[in-house]
Each structure stands twice: as structure tokens, then as C-alpha cells.
């Protein structure tokens, strides 16, 4: 990892850049595939599955028999671990349920707000080198709690046309209604437009590579909502000499192994700590099965020495990390002042992996600085807030004259008339 000492604030934007490809470089590919899928449906899905996943399929919907057979190939130990995680995720997201809000703003004017589930949602689950069955729990569990009717899942098949058994088992356990062996841009396009096989959805959730991220953003142009722009994974750690060097190195590597375009950053006021962590990363990385991926990600990553906690905090808020770990004696300072982060992990014994799997919080989080404006996935992500109002004769008499005056001031005579006609009827 590159060590940067006391960077000047004017250099922070360049220092904190993510290792991502310019959107313009891949947007043309995404647009082309979207247009193809929109026009040719399943035929295009099959074509791009053959091109990108190296498998020619006749049918890309996972059958009930296929799902049930896959469940037999998941070990009891893993099933028990998934059950623990699912329980904690359910517990945390059920606690986010809110009640109807009702208020009489003035006498005779009753206003209330209720939440309704999004009826049709699409979940994208990356496959490839790391089949993320944990993400199914993070998305399908709150979707079910919210009451979503149709929960569609797309995930890429392997080169033999199969889906990882753990993905199929978890999807069945968590109430996914249909599963399709489709990945990448074509999966997002399929859920955006709908095909002969894939239902059109109202909102798409889930992480993915840069092509998937751009595809999700393009989906919004066709009236489909998305959870957030979620691209390659990232982690920032704020630590001082109270931190355990082995722990910190392991946390950095846990995110670095996600993909070659992942980024991890360690910020500290202690040069001694930064140097020790750098050496420990070299020790630990050689033992990892995904060490080549981790090494490339480490090449995108940085050790940053700051003058003070105040400067460190300012830099962290400027970066807006997806994951933030705080391992400092002065942890309250960081907790009180963090403004931009997807999810925060506090203390030496709170690894980021806990949030990825089983603590209960959601791991689908904004990346690339979008934590400055976006929240991570939560129960409300699968719901819409709807407002209602009912006005009595007395209520309209109370607020009608104000409405008339404002409508006339804006030059909207029909708006005024809609009130005046009623008021005149009440007077007569």
C-alpha cells in the first residue's frame, strides 16, 4: 500500500479518487445491450449469456426440481449459519417498522401517512468468483417483511449453466418467487423491460461491477427505480496505536479480496501503526486463496498519515466510505462527527465481516462517495410512503380562503374555482 504523509487539502480530491473506469468508456456497451434486450427479449438474454458467461442455455429459469436438488447439496453447518444470520437480519429490519402517522392540522382537516410495499422488486446477485448468497438475505428478508408480492432474482450461471447451491437454497429460504440464470447488463435490462420469461419490476436492488452499476443507472431512464449506485466495494479504517495491527490488516484484506477494483484506505495519526499494518498485510496476504485479486486491490489502496483527528475526520467525510471502521481511543469524537458513511463499525472486535453476514445490519451500501447523499438498503427501501387527507365542511371553511388567495396569486384560476364553488355551496 502507498504511504502518503500529511497530504494538503488541495490534493485530497486526487488522493481520494476511486479506481473506477470512466462511465463514458462503458456506457455505449450498456446502451447497446439494453436496446437489444428491449427489442428481442429472451433471444437477446440467451445471446449475451452465451457471450459473457460461456454457456448456451435453452431455458434460463431455475426449476423447482433444480432448486430442491441444490438444497440437498448445502451442508447442515452452512444451513445453521445462514439461519443465524437470517434471524438477526429479520430482527433488525422488523424493528424498522413504523406505524401510521395521523394528524388534524386544523379543525376538520385530517392528514395521515401510511406505507405500502413496492409490489414488484428485482434482486441482482453477483456470482462468478464469489457467489454472494449473503446478499440474498440482505435484500429478500426486508422485501418479505415489507410485503413485496413479486421478488425476482437474477444471478449469472457458471460455465455449466448452474447456479451455486447456496444461492438457490438461500433464495428459497428467504421467499424469492422466481430465479433466473442471468447476469450482468442483460439481467438489469431484462428486469427493466420485462421479457417473455423475466417479469418487469418496479425497483432493482443489488451490487455488481461497474457495468452493472451503469446498467442500473440507465434503468432509471426507463422508469425503474434502483436502490442506489452501488459499485466496487470499499473500506476506510480510522485507527491509532490502540488498534490491533493484525485485526486492521485482516479487515483491509477482507475488502481487498472482493475484486481487483476494490479500494481500502487506512487513515491514522500514527506513522508507526501505518508501517506496522503495511508489513502485516504482506504477511497475511500470501495465505489467502484470492491473494492475486487482493494484491491488485491493494495496489489501488493507501495508507494516509494525518496531523490530527480533526484533519482525519474531515478527510473521511470528504471520501464518504461505504464501510468505516473506527479503532481509536478517541472513538466518541469520530462517532459524533462522522457525516458520510454507509455503515460504521466500532472497536477492535467489530470486524466489517460481521456486517457482511450476521450482525443484522444491511450490507447493501452506497459506494463511490454516494454515502454523502444515499442511505444503505433498509426496510423503507422496499416501501413507499403515501399521504392521505380528508376534509370536512368545517375544515374547508377554515383553510379555503387561504387556498383561494394563493391560487389566485399564482394565476391558477381553476385551482381557486375548485375551492370557491364548494365554499359558495356551503354558504348557500
Taking only the tens place, the pLDDT of each residue in 322-379 is 999 999 999 999 999 999 999 999 999 999 999 999 999 999 999 999 999 999 999 9
Look at residue 62 and tell me whether its pLDDT is greater than 70: yes
Residue 287 has pLDDT above 80, yes or no: yes
pLDDT of residue 21 exceeding 80: no
Q: What percent of the chain has pLDDT over 70?
A: 99
User: What is the CATH architecture of 392-427?
Assistant: Up-down Bundle (1.20)
Query: In whole angstroms, how far apart are CA 10 and each of 1, 16, 21, 298?
Result: 22, 11, 23, 24
Q: Side-chain half-sphere of 204: how many Cα atoms within 13 Å?
A: 33
With the CA atoms of 285, 289, 290 and 292 taken in that order, what torsion angle do they form, in degrees rounded to the nearest 10?
60
Q: Which of 323, 394, 410, 425 is catalytic?
A: 323
The yes-or-no verdict on residue 288 having pLDDT over 90 is yes
User: What is the model's pLDDT at position 22?
Assistant: 64
Of residues 322, 352, 410, 425, which has the active-site annotation? 322
Q: What is the mean pLDDT of residues 15-29?
A: 82
| Per-residue pLDDT tens digits for 244-283 | 999 999 999 999 998 888 999 999 999 999 999 999 999 9
Burial of residue 168 (number of CB atoms within 10 Å: 0-12, 13-18, 19+)? buried
Q: Which residue has the higher pLDDT, 118 or 258?
A: 118
Helices (H) and strands (E) in the chain, counts: 17, 14
Whether the per-residue pLDDT at 24 is higher than 90: the answer is no
Q: Which residues pair with 120 in a beta bridge?
A: 150
Q: Decide: 275 and 365 in contact? Cβ < 8 Å.
A: no
Bridge partners, residue 358, by sequence: none
For 135, phi then psi, to 5°, come to: -65, -30
Across 131-155, average pLDDT: 97
Mean pLDDT of 61-81: 97
Least confident of 163-167, 221-225, 230-234, 257-261: 230-234
At 137-148, the pLDDT tens digits run 999 999 999 999
| Distance separating alpha carbons of residues 404 and 296, to the nearest angstrom | 65
Are 23-99+119-228 and 392-427 the same fold in CATH?
A: no
Q: Could you tell me which residues come within 8 angstroms of residue 261 by beta carbon, excluding any fewer than 6 positions away?
A: 19, 20, 209, 210, 231, 232, 297, 300
Would you call 258 a catalytic residue per the annotation?
Answer: no
Beta strands in 187-339 (DSSP E): 203-205, 225-226, 234-239, 263-268, 302-305, 323-327
Domain boundaries, the chain: 2-20+232-360, 23-99+119-228, 392-427
CATH 3.60.110.10 fits 23-99+119-228, yes or no: no
For CA atoms 161, 164, 165, 171, the dihedral sign is negative
- What are the cell numbers at 382? 422496499
Rg of the Cα atoms in the chain: 25
pLDDT in the model for residue 300: 85
Domain 2-20+232-360 belongs in CATH node 3.40.50.1980 = yes
Mean pLDDT of the chain: 95
Dist CA 216 CA 191 (whole Å): 10
Exposed / middle / buried, residue 76 (Cβ in 10 Å: 0-12, 13-18, 19+): exposed
- Give the distance, in angstroms, between the CA of residue 64 and the centroid of all CA atoms in the same chain: 28
Question: How many residues are listed for the chain in this entry?
Answer: 428
At 271, give phi and psi (nearest 5°). Answer: -65, -35
* CB 260 within 8 Å of CB 290: no
Angle at 370 between CA 366 and CA 371, to 5 degrees: 70
Residue 210 has pLDDT above 90, yes or no: no
Q: What angle do CA 295, 301, 306 make, to 5 degrees?
A: 145
DSSP 8-state assignment for residue 380: G
Tell me if residue 322 is catalytic.
yes
Confidence of residue 1 (pLDDT cuts 50, 70, 90): confident
pTM of the model: 0.93
Element (H, E) at 23: helix 23-40
Cβ(263)–Cβ(246) below 8 Å? no
Antiparallel, parallel or unpaired: β 109-117 and 383-391: antiparallel
The closest alpha carbon to 284, from 241, 243, 252, 325, belongs to: 252
Residues 297-308: what's their mean pLDDT? 94
List, in sequence order, every residue forming a beta bridge with 326; answer none if it has no partner.
238, 346
Residue 128 confidence (pLDDT) above 70:
no
How many Å apart are CA 393 and CA 423, to the nearest integer?
9
Confidence of residue 209 (pLDDT cuts 50, 70, 90): confident
Average pLDDT for residues 219-244, to the nearest whole number? Answer: 94
Amino acid at each position: 500500500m502507498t504511504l502518503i504523509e500529511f497530504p494538503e487539502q488541495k490534493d485530497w480530491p486526487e488522493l481520494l479518487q476511486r479506481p473506477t473506469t470512466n462511465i463514458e468508456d462503458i456506457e455505449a456497451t450498456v446502451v447497446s445491450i439494453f436496446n437489444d434486450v428491449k427489442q428481442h427479449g429472451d433471444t437477446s438474454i440467451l445471446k449475451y449469456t452465451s457471450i459473457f458467461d460461456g454457456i448456451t442455455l435453452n431455458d434460463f429459469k431455475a426449476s423447482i426440481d433444480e432448486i430442491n436438488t441444490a438444497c440437498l447439496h448445502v451442508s447442515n453447518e452452512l444451513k445453521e449459519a445462514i439461519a443465524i444470520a437470517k434471524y438477526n437480519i429479520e430482527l433488525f429490519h422488523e424493528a424498522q417498522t413504523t406505524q401510521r402517522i395521523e394528524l388534524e392540522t386544523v379543525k376538520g382537516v385530517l392528514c395521515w401517512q401510511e406505507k405500502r410495499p413496492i409490489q414488484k422488486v428485482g434482486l441482482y446477485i453477483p456470482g462468478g468468483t464469489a457467489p454472494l448468497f449473503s446478499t440474498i438475505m440482505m435484500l429478500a428478508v426486508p422485501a418479505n417483511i415489507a410485503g413485496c408480492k413479486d421478488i425476482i432474482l437474477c444471478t449469472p450461471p457458471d460455465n455449466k449453466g448452474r447456479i451455486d447451491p447456496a444461492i438457490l437454497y438461500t433464495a428459497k429460504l428467504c421467499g424469492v418467487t422466481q430465479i433466473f440464470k442471468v447476469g450482468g447488463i442483460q439481467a438489469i435490462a431484462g428486469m427493466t423491460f420485462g421479457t417473455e420469461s423475466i417479469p418487469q419490476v418496479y425497483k432493482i436492488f443489488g451490487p455488481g461491477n461497474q457495468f452493472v452499476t451503469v446498467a442500473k443507472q440507465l434503468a432509471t431512464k426507463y422508469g425503474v427505480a434502483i436502490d442506489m449506485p452501488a459499485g466496487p466495494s470499499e473500506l476506510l479504517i480510522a485507527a491509532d496505536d490502540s488498534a490491533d495491527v493484525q485485526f486492521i490488516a485482516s479487515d483491509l484484506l477482507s475488502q481487498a479480496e472482493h475484486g481487483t477494483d476494490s479500494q481500502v484506505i487506512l487513515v491514522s495519526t500514527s506513522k508507526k501503526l501505518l508501517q506496522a499494518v503495511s508489513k502485516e498485510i504482506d504477511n497475511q496476504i500470501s495465505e489467502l486463496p484470492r491473494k492475486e485479486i487482493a494484491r491488485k486491490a491493494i495496489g489501488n489502496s493507501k495508507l494516509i498519515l494525518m496531523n490530527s483527528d480533526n484533519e482525519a475526520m474531515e478527510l473521511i467525510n470528504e471520501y464518504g466510505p461505504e464501510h468505516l471502521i473506527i479503532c481509536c481511543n478517541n472513538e466518541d469524537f469520530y462517532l459524533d462527527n462522522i457525516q458520510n458513511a454507509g455503515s460504521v463499525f466500532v472497536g477492535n472486535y467489530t470486524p466489517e465481516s460481521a456486517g457482511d453476514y450476521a450482525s443484522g445490519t444491511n450490507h447493501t451500501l452506497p459506494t463511490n462517495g454516494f454515502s454523502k447523499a444515499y442511505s444503505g438498503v433498509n426496510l423503507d427501501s422496499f416501501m413507499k410512503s403515501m399521504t392521505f387527507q380528508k376534509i370536512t365542511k368545517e375544515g374547508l371553511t377554515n383553510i379555503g380562503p387561504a387556498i383561494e388567495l394563493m391560487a389566485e396569486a399564482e394565476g391558477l384560476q381553476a385551482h381557486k374555482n375548485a375551492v370557491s364553488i364548494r365554499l359558495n355551496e356551503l354558504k348557500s
